[in-house]
Chains A and B, each alone.
Chain A
Amino acid sequence: MASWKAFRDRIRALLDSDAVHREIDEEMRFHLDMRAEENVRRGMSPEDARREAERRFGRLTRIKEMGYEVRGGGFAEILWQDVRYGVRMLLKHPGFTFIAVLTLALGIGVNTALFSVVNAVLLRPLPYAEPERLVQIYEANAQQGFDRFAFSLANFIDHRDQQTGFEQMAAYNRWNANLTGAGEPERVQVAIVSASFLPLLRVQPLLGRGFMPEEETPGKDNVAVLSYGLWQRRFGADPGILNQSVTLSGHVCTVVGVLPADFQFPNPFGSNPLSEAAPKVDLLVPLAYDPKCGFRGKRPPVPE
């Protein structure tokens, strides 16, 4: 292909201009030698033969240069000239330069920002196994005008026990607690989750286990699973952490597991709750439910 050959020559001239020059030199020297030999055969002295050959050839240096240019030489030089010319012109017209740079910067910035959102919300799959089978469901409260509202715990349990459309249902809520005990007291982000939460997301704890269904009962819910981050930071990644106690706002809980490092908690208030990770979660505790205190259609009792 014609343009392909030209392109290859151009790259070759750029990378190995000496080789191109050598080839041209050799080819033209061969020509002059052949012509001189021919002239000698016709009876000229070697000096005259050489001179005549050069005269017939024309201006050797100029012709070599032309040949080199045709074969893609000078490409880098021309490119460099163009770059310098461009920079000079930009410096000469600072107003234009400013507008052009601003336009580019805004364009690139807006594109990047939009892409980040689109990537997080639409393109990147949820950070869980089989994300296409996960949905987040809400209660709607038409009277109050809310279309995404938290389930009451009792309603959740009714749905969970009576629905047939889903393989499994899990509930979660958030709680800010004070972590006390060894070291400085600390405000931590706690997620209160049903026992089905980790199995549903197919998350295997790094150490220990998740929650058992029987731990959803008040009195048996004094267990906790640490996030990888908290385990590293506060407990020095202690491999013997299991069965140790942590105190959450006065409740003593036994550590039964540690989450894997890449676990991300869903963000119920994100535009796509299952793909936008929530702000950090430090610990999980089981979502215990006392039927005597539950109100169907009402909010669950606040744990603190």
Chain B
Amino acid sequence: MVKQKPDLPQGTLDLLVLKALSLGPMHGYGIGQRIQQLAEDMLQIEEGTLYPAVYRIEQKGWIESEWGVSDNNRRARFYKLTRQGRKQLAVEESQWEHLTTAVAKVLQAT
């Protein structure tokens, strides 16, 4: 049986997290929601794996975090893109485009 919702290729999650946060600061749950919405539920993400990825990105200095209050008045940790993260997002976007174009060319061979 072919999986309808493929797993993300290695490293892609970082790109999606950066992209989601480029739309504005958000807590971890919100990041996951945003990615799912933007992907129109076509992706299979184990939601928990988002967190180690987010922590790793934070350690690289691309995002930073602080405790804040969520829409339903609960304490939540909010992440936002740093200036360095914005640059990194541009780099990763262009790399991703390059890669998908290249893979598409190969697959289109007849």
Write the chain B residue with the least CB distance to A70: B55
Cβ 8 A contact of A31, one of B28, B46, B52, B58 = B28
The smallest C-beta distance from B22 to any residue of chain A, in angstroms, reads 18
Q: In the complex, which residues of chain B have a beta carbon less than 8 angstroms from the beta carbon of A63? A: 48-49, 51-52
Write the chain B residue with the least CB distance to A60: B48
Q: In the complex, which residues of chain A have a beta carbon less than 8 angstroms from the beta carbon of B58? A: 5
CB pair A2 B47 closer than 8 Å: no
Q: In the complex, which residues of chain B have a beta carbon less than 8 angstroms from the beta carbon of A35? A: 29, 47
The smallest C-beta distance from B42 to any residue of chain A, in angstroms, reads 16
Write the chain B residue with the least CB distance to A9: B59
Assess whether A301 is interfacial by the CB under 8 Å rule: no
CB pair A1 B61 closer than 8 Å: yes
CB pair A71 B59 closer than 8 Å: yes
CB pair A70 B59 closer than 8 Å: yes
Assess whether A30 is interfacial by the CB under 8 Å rule: yes
CB pair B55 A67 closer than 8 Å: yes
Q: In the complex, which residues of chain A have a beta carbon less than 8 angstroms from the beta carbon of B62? A: 2
Taken together as a complex, chains A and B put the C-alpha atoms of A1 and B59 apart, in Å, by: 9
Q: In the complex, which residues of chain B have a beta carbon less than 8 angstroms from the beta carbon of A28? A: 48, 51
With contact pairs A30-B70, A31-B28, A71-B59 given, residues A58 and B49 touching in the complex (Cβ less than 8 Å): yes
With contact pairs A30-B27, A30-B76, A70-B52 given, residues A58 and B46 touching in the complex (Cβ less than 8 Å): yes
CB pair A5 B61 closer than 8 Å: yes
Assess whether B3 is interfacial by the CB under 8 Å rule: no
Interface size class of B (residues with CB under 8 A): 20 to 34
Assess whether A6 is interfacial by the CB under 8 Å rule: yes
Assess whether A59 is interfacial by the CB under 8 Å rule: yes
Q: In the complex, which residues of chain A have a beta carbon less than 8 angstroms from the beta carbon of B72? A: 34, 37
Assess whether B56 is interfacial by the CB under 8 Å rule: yes
Task: Scan B18-54; emit 1 where CB is below 8 A from any A CB, else 0.
Answer: 0000000001110010000000000000111101100
Taken together as a complex, chains A and B put the C-alpha atoms of A24 and B54 apart, in Å, by: 12
Q: In the complex, which residues of chain B have a beta carbon less than 8 angstroms from the beta carbon of A33? A: 74
A1-42: which have CB < 8 Å to B?
1-2, 5-6, 9, 23-24, 26-28, 30-31, 33-35, 37
Task: Scan B54-97; emit 1 where CB is below 8 A from any A CB, else 0.
Answer: 01101111100000001010111100000010000000000000
Q: In the complex, which residues of chain A have a beta carbon less than 8 angstroms from the beta carbon of B49? A: 58, 63
The smallest C-beta distance from B104 to any residue of chain A, in angstroms, reads 31
Cβ 8 A contact of A34, one of B29, B51, B52, B75 = B29
Taken together as a complex, chains A and B put the C-alpha atoms of A4 and B48 apart, in Å, by: 26
The smallest C-beta distance from A267 to any residue of chain B, in angstroms, reads 60
The smallest C-beta distance from B34 to any residue of chain A, in angstroms, reads 13
Assess whether A66 is interfacial by the CB under 8 Å rule: yes
**What are 6 A-B residue pairs whose CB atoms fall within 8 Å in the complex?**
A6-B59, A30-B28, A31-B29, A56-B46, A70-B59, A71-B59
In the A-B complex, the 10 residue pairs with the closest CB atoms: A2-B61, A58-B48, A58-B46, A63-B48, A70-B55, A66-B52, A57-B48, A6-B59, A34-B29, A31-B29
Query: Which A residues form the contact surface with B (CB < 8 A)?
Result: 1-2, 5-6, 9, 23-24, 26-28, 30-31, 33-35, 37, 56-60, 63, 66-67, 69-71
Q: 6 other contacts beyond A27-B51, A30-B70, with CB at 8 A cut-off? A: A9-B59, A27-B28, A27-B76, A31-B29, A56-B47, A70-B52
